[in-house]
Amino acid sequence: MTNLEIRTPCQRRTGDYTLTQLQSIKADPDNVEEYFAECEQYRLNGVSHPFFWDWPLSCPSRFLTPECLHYWHHFFWDHDLRWCTNALGARELDFCFSVLPLITGIRHFGQGVTQLKQIGGRTQQDAQQYIIVVLFGFPDADVLTAI
């Protein structure tokens, strides 16, 4: 036997497992700092009521496969972001992205997003996290609803 550490697999992240962890958190979700500190102990992202919390017998780990998530990220970049560019115009969209405040852990798009060429999944995810804020106040509410 080598000196390699023997690893045991982590417990599977099922919907029930996540909901059980959420129920054990005693902090009030409205107290953001305290709530996030408790979530961090369980490696949770801070969402107090996930979309599946009232779906009996459902488990997101079975129907949200990596392949689906991959396609949705590409759909956002290939379609949603283009719709936003057409609705706002490339200069306005880039300006809105560029003036967003710096947030640790999320990419800052100082030059905007329309001129990016080769992008990875993390860049797509970061742009997705900002898009509603960028579109907020757009005169046509249907654009915001669609995105």
Domains of the chain, by residue range, sit at 15-63, 66-146
- Residue for token digits 């990419």? 107
Q: What local confidence, expressed as pLDDT, does residue 14 receive?
A: 84
Torsion of CA 63, 129, 82, 60, to 10 degrees: 0
Q: How far apart are CA 94 and CA 51, in angstroms?
A: 31
- 65 compared with 131, residue with greater pLDDT: 131
Q: What is the pLDDT of residues 73-103, one digit of tens each?
A: 888 888 888 999 988 899 999 999 999 988 8
- Residue for token digits 């023997």? 6
Q: What is the pLDDT of residues 128-139, one digit of tens each?
A: 888 888 888 788
Q: Are 28 and 35 in contact (CB under 8 A)?
A: yes
Q: What local confidence, expressed as pLDDT, does residue 28 receive?
A: 93
Q: Are 123 and 107 in contact (CB under 8 A)?
A: yes
